[in-house]
Amino acid sequence: MSAIELYLIRHGIAAEHGIYPKDSERPLTDEGQEKTRQVAQRLYELDIRFDLIQTSPLVRARQTANILQSAGLGQSLEESSHLAPEGSFEDWVSWLRSWKGEKLAIVGHEPNLGEWTERLVWGSVHHQIVVKKAAVIGLLLPETGSPAGKSQLFWLTPPRLLL
Amino acid sequence: MSAIELYLIRHGIAAEHGIYPKDSERPLTDEGQEKTRQVAQRLYELDIRFDLIQTSPLVRARQTANILQSAGLGQSLEESSHLAPEGSFEDWVSWLRSWKGEKLAIVGHEPNLGEWTERLVWGSVHHQIVVKKAAVIGLLLPETGSPAGKSQLFWLTPPRLLL
């Protein structure tokens, strides 16, 4: 595995719980779509590109990933059940170690993204990272070995401070 | 102590070691001044303001703090020996607990700023945070008790991803 830049991106603002019968079907609101588009545009201007955009299968995440793709941030997009709310960090790391690429975006949910960030950087979960909707986290994973507890945090930004 | 938003800001690019007889006297380069001005301007546009800008007494930090002040980010500026390379985290925390204010910027050095961030957020030092020159880190400190291991990380950005 070569050194990987990993970007963890939380889905945008979604419709409230209760309006849709299944949580997995809640879509982005109009505001959520618009803000996510602005974030995607800003990432594009910052010359950020992904070899792959991987997304949770839930509607609000898939819509977020589609917006990133439409903004020109990456051509390849795939769903991964590891990124769903019930997904497993260990299973995703196993997948990652066989992935051939250098810049990866994963679109998913809280508390998973914050927990995964803490596991990757410090090796344990403290719930001390604030991950807003449409926030972006940037990690540099090591070239060899497990990335857990060995990754470096170089970026964390809520959309308010990115636009 | 009320909840404090703490911004840790590393000094900008400075002249090389060796050109100046004392490390403490190394000034910002022209590029360092320009980039720091751009960062300060961006912070201003993002509506970030400080009740106090506290700086290391070293020239490159004082110049960085002066640029932040000149950009309109805060009127009060003071030096603190705790923020010098040999400064003590514990002494600074003691000072902080008597400070009356809500938004504080501290301008200082590596590896101190990254280590202090890790001590504030996770309670221990791992050297897993990348803090570039003129980078900005945002922490939310708890309302009561020691902030060590209890603060939340809401922002970390290198200048490249801020401009």
Q: Residue A26: which CATH number? A: 3.40.50.1240
Q: Out of A155, A160, A161, whose CB is closest to B158? A: A155
Taking CB atoms and an 8 Å limit, are A130 and B151 in contact across chains? no
Contact (Cβ atoms closer than 8 angstroms) between residue B91 and residue B134:
no
Confirm or deny that A37 is annotated as ligand binding. no
| Residue pLDDT, tens place only, B66-84 | 999 999 999 999 999 999 9
- Please tell me if residue A134 touches chain B, with a CB cutoff of 8 Å: no
For A44, the closest chain B residue by CA position comes to B161
Taking CB atoms and an 8 Å limit, are A160 and B122 in contact across chains? no
Q: Which range has the worst mean pLDDT, A69-78, A138-147, B17-26, B49-58? A: B17-26
A2 pLDDT exceeds 80?
A: no
The mean per-residue pLDDT over the stretch A65-77 comes to 98
B105 pLDDT exceeds 60?
A: yes
Average pLDDT, chain A: 95
Q: Residues of A numbered 42-61 whose beta carbons fall under 8 angstroms of chain B's beta carbons: which are they?
A: 46
* Alpha carbons A4 and A53: distance in angstroms, whole number: 13
Q: Out of A126, A128, A153, whose CB is closest to B130? A: A153
| Residue pLDDT, tens place only, B26-48 | 999 999 999 999 999 999 999 99
Strands B136-141 and B152-157: antiparallel
Tell me which of B39, B156, B163 to substitute to probe the interface with A (most A C-beta atoms closer than 10 Å). B156
Q: Which domain holds residue A118?
A: 4-161
Taking CB atoms and an 8 Å limit, are B130 and A140 in contact across chains? yes
The mean per-residue pLDDT over the stretch A125-147 comes to 95
Domain count across chain B: 1
A49 pLDDT exceeds 70?
A: yes
% residues pLDDT > 70 (chain A): 99
Q: What is the DSSP letter of B39?
A: H
Dihedral sign for Cα atoms in the order B77, B132, B86, A128: positive
Q: Out of B128, B129, B154, whose CB is closest to A158? A: B154
Average pLDDT, chain B: 95
- Please tell me if residue B128 touches chain A, with a CB cutoff of 8 Å: yes
Taking CB atoms and an 8 Å limit, are A130 and B153 in contact across chains? yes
Contact (Cβ atoms closer than 8 angstroms) between residue A120 and residue A141:
yes
CA separation, residue B30 to residues A146, B16, B37, B71, B146 (Å):
41, 13, 11, 17, 39
% residues pLDDT > 90 (chain B): 90
With a threshold of 0.90, tell me whether the complex ipTM lies above it. Answer: yes
Compute the CA torsion angle A62, A65, A70, A73 (nearest 10 deg).
Answer: -160
